[in-house]
Amino acid sequence: MFPDLLLSVCPRLHGRFHELAPHLVPLDYTNQPDIRLPLALIVSMPELKENPFRNRIVEVFSEDGQGNLSFNDFVDMFSALCETAPRELKTIYAFKIYDFNVDNFLCKEDLEKTLNRLTKGELTPEEVNLVCSKAMEEADLDGDSKLSFSDFENMISKAPDFLR
Distance of CA 60 to the CA centre of its chain: 5
Residue of 2, 27, 66, 102 interacting with other proteins (CB under 8 A): 2
Residue 7 touches other proteins, criterion: CB under 8 A:
no
Residue 22 touches other proteins, criterion: CB under 8 A:
no
N-terminal to C-terminal alpha carbon distance within the chain: 33
Q: Closest by alpha carbon to 70, among 146, 1, 139?
A: 1
| Cα gap 35→39, rounded to integer Å | 13
Strand spans (E) along the chain: none
* CB nearer other proteins, residue 103 or residue 138: 138
Residue of 78, 105, 107, 108 interacting with other proteins (CB under 8 A): 78
- Give me the least distance between CB of 104 and other proteins, in Å please: 13
Amino acid at 62: S
- Give me the least distance between CB of 39 and other proteins, in Å please: 18
DSSP element (H, E) containing 110:
helix 108-118
* CB nearer other proteins, residue 109 or residue 138: 138
Map the footprint of other proteins across residues 80-99, applying CB under 8 A.
80-89, 92-94, 98
From 20-28, 36-44, 147-155, give the range in contact with other proteins by CB under 8 A: 147-155
Residue 130 touches other proteins, criterion: CB under 8 A:
yes
* CB nearer other proteins, residue 39 or residue 116: 116
| Cα gap 39→128, rounded to integer Å | 29
Other C-beta atoms lying within 10 Å of the C-beta of residue 112: 16
